[in-house]
Structure 1
Amino acid sequence: MTDMDLQSSNYESHAVESGTLYIVPTPIGNLGDISQRAIDVLANVDWVAAEDTRHSKRLFDHLGLRVRSLSLHQHNESQRSELLCNHLRNGQSVALVSDAGTPLISDPGYVLVQHCREQGVPVTALPGPCAAITALSASGLPTDKFQFVGFLPVKQQALNEAVKALAAAPLTSVCYESPRRVTATLNALAEHCAKGQQIVLAKELTKAFESYVSGDAETILTWFEEDERRLKGEFVLMIAPAPDTDQAISPEALALLQALGGLLPPKKAAAVVAQHYGLKKNSLYKLLITDN
């Protein structure tokens, strides 16, 4: 950034424009992480649309702000989006906040932003806290390429399919998980990840008891079993890219696969070798049927 860019970005008092929707990130834990620009916008807009007005009021009280707010959550987003678009078209300004972090990132707001774009209403997004990016940057996993998949499915079959895809992805995968579901997700990861494929769990980000736990899925499950209180809070799970399958198959594993391939059905032979050497059954099966 040039000196001119820096000078132009420091505009006076971060003025709020009429008829504009502002997407305002809020702290994910440490209240000191809110930016001065975010405070200025919240203090000057006509309306604040909050995921939970009672939750957001605690932040506003901490900042000494008196705001006019209304709720916007997954159950009323369509109706409230129409109302807010009317306010915006009439020249009023609106700030959108979620309970924590950046709105729309696994939080409500997509419908409102879509409506605004369709109707030509200006939308301005402020940079700020995001649990996925915060966790990834300190995880020690590759960050040159990654995918964010939000919350994983609840139903077991859908969860298994989602986890299987994450375990095979050639890039770092980031997802959110709740205390109620985190052990089920880790058990699914234990079943589908390759031997030694690293997983990093982050919790209590930016708070006093911030924690990062690294290892395979069994390691993290053991960490939870050691103290059930660790299951409290919200979690970010990160899965390392899938290992290079060609390099991971040793000559011994390949020889056993070929030998069993002449005695057993391909899927059974692949399953036996996968379990014995900690490899991916699907990759071994594909290798076996290709060779045949």
Structure 2
Amino acid sequence: MKSGWIFAAAMALAACGQSPDVPQDSDIVATDGSELETADAGQLAPASDYVAPDYAKLSGYDEGWYISPGWPGEYPAGFVVLDEGVTLQGGARPNPAAPRDKACTLPRLANYQLWNYPRVSADKLEFFVATKTFPVTLTQDAAVEYVSDAGSMQTLGLKQGDQLNYLRYLGEGFAILSFGGTEYDINEAELIDITDIQDSKGEEDEWVRVTCADGSQAWLLYDEVVAVPGIAPSPITGYGDASDISADQVDSIRFDAEVNAAAAAEAANQPFE
């Protein structure tokens, strides 16, 4: 596992049924590479009896997708249950083509976010992301910086016409791309003027396995979940910080979700400049 991948690794370990005493004030960060911290990585290890699922085999995505644990972003997404009796349609297999034939009722005020360690542990939550890969072609000769295994910045010499393969977004502008069979953690900003990366639109599916009110489990797709009435995106309270919400937060979270949804809809209707 690459050092630059530690940001996503920390997220993944939080989602892997780790012991409940995982610290919530980890100093693991993802920046420009020079400030990557690894001091708390050992404390984020999953419980010794935990065996991570084979997400790729379980989901059945084809080889055009990159499957990896955790969810992307400096502040990974999540969702909260605002109303009583919210029932979602999940499935036994985390794949868009698989049937959503499992009715799954979730508890009010629950926050399904991978930093909500008590909920992750109690409900045995599993998070992974499937990213549709795409080629990124160099439009000129260039030396591209990447985060080495030791956490320092190194350069990768590339020629016009060389092709990288985009695998996954991490956070704070960094993504995993492969070249010649090797994976590199690269700041996307470095690629904007020297590749055709802006011509491609990324596609990703964020999946979480939840425990339903009846004790059964179901896989849910984030984009489908947040479209259900009574569900809203998780509030951001701080880096590495998340918990179930309280009843007195419901109205403000619902209001913020409605405002943000309206703003996003308006932005989608504006011409691209």
Instruction: Please tell me the TM-score bracket, short chain as reference.
Output: under 0.3
TM-score, length-normalised on structure 2?
Answer: 0.21
**Bigger strand fraction:** 2
TM-score, length-normalised on structure 1?
Answer: 0.20
Larger relative contact order, structure 1 or 2 (CA cutoff 8 Å, min sep 6): 2
